Amino acid sequence: MTATDLATATVAATDPSPAATLAIRTRGLTKNFGSARVVDGIDLDVPRGAIYGFLGPNGSGKTTTIRMLLGLISSSAGKIDLLGEPVPGSRDVLTRVGALVEGPAFHTHLTGRANLHRLDAVDAWADSRTSRTRVDAALTRVGLLAAADKRYRAYSLGMRQRLAIAAALLGERDLLILDEPTNGLDPQGTREIRNLIRALADEGVTIFVSSHLLSEIEQVCTHLGVMRQGNLVAQGTVAQILDLAPTRVSVTSPDAQRAAAVMLDCGLADPVVLGEVATAPVGQGAPEELVVALVTAGVRVRGFDVHRPRLEDLFVSLTGEGFDVSS
């Protein structure tokens, strides 16, 4: 299957969902900067309660899409619904959406608590009489209450990212949009953010997280969307996307040609023989049934391997580029 075929199949496999079941829904979302089309007619479907990983190489349109979702820049065409409400159009819906875009910015000489109080004070929808309750609740949710009175300059990178997420959680949020929340973090800081994302999802918050760290997405996300050059080339649950790339079996044998014939008899299409190795996609069959057939046919089997597709393999096929798989 070529990269183009795989991309087409992946998008086609995802059925449109009713708007009421979606935290984010876009139709034909497009952004042009002059003559350059940066985002090209994408249809996002992010289910409520999901942890949705938004992936793609640098320059694929991820951050531009996020900025349109939040109303930070206008779209050139298309429609956006957040939590069932149109954006722009409904001012109140954005009070239920928290966001971290392009890194946190805080006053280094102030404490974590003081920084959050300053942010809360400029929120036109916030009641100043309950500011301390909101700030302490946000600090508690990200595990920073004990460090609330330390100056920001003394925070580790992981603590700074958690404080930024606390700022996004100052109000009651149903949707959290995070752009590269683990960018620049060491492994410990990355684990902290990953565990926080899981905990927030367990509370019922929908998480939309943009990242180029494939290992992080694999560990935490329930749904995926993949961007390439402004196009959404894949979308669905992790299982749906993995199912689109065939599992393959390989048989190492001095009777490789006979092994390929047995594969055909068992319904495996298009076996390929290279030296003493015969390979073929499994299709709907069970690999263990092929083992029985090979032994029954007298094929001498030196090795038998089942290769299931990895997300990294799929993303390289979809985007034509590699991903950072470090943690």
């609330």: which residue's tokens?
148
**Domain assignment of residue 279, given as a range:** 246-308
User: Cα-flanking dihedrals φ and ψ of residue 268, to 5°?
Assistant: -85, 125
**Are residues 251 and 218 part of one domain?**
no
- Compute the distance between CA of residue 99 and CA of residue 173 in angstroms, rounded to an integer: 10
For residue 224, what are the β-bridge partners?
Answer: 53, 236
In three-state secondary structure terms, 138 is helix
Residue keyed to tokens 């190489």: 57
Q: What are phi and psi of 247, to 5 degrees?
A: -70, 135
Q: Specify the pLDDT at position 6.
A: 53
Give the chain's domain count: 2
Strand, coil or helix: 264: helix
- The label of the residue with tokens 């083992």 reads 291
Are residues 257 and 215 part of one domain?
no
Domain of 261, CATH number, reads 3.30.70.980
Residue count (the chain): 327
The pairing of beta strand 51-55 with beta strand 85-86: unpaired
Q: What is the pLDDT of residue 103?
A: 66
Which pLDDT score is estimated for 262? 93
Which of 243, 266, 284 terminates a domain? The answer is: 243
Tokens at 204, concatenated: 């019922």
Low-confidence ranges of the chain (pLDDT < 70): 1-19, 90, 103-104, 285, 319-327
pLDDT in tens, 112-132: 999 999 988 877 777 788 889
Which residue is it, tokens 């015969």?
A: 278
Please report whether residue 313 resides in a domain: no
CATH of the domain at 161: 3.40.50.300
**pTM exceeds cut of 0.85:** no
Q: How many CB atoms lie within 10 A of CB 135?
A: 23
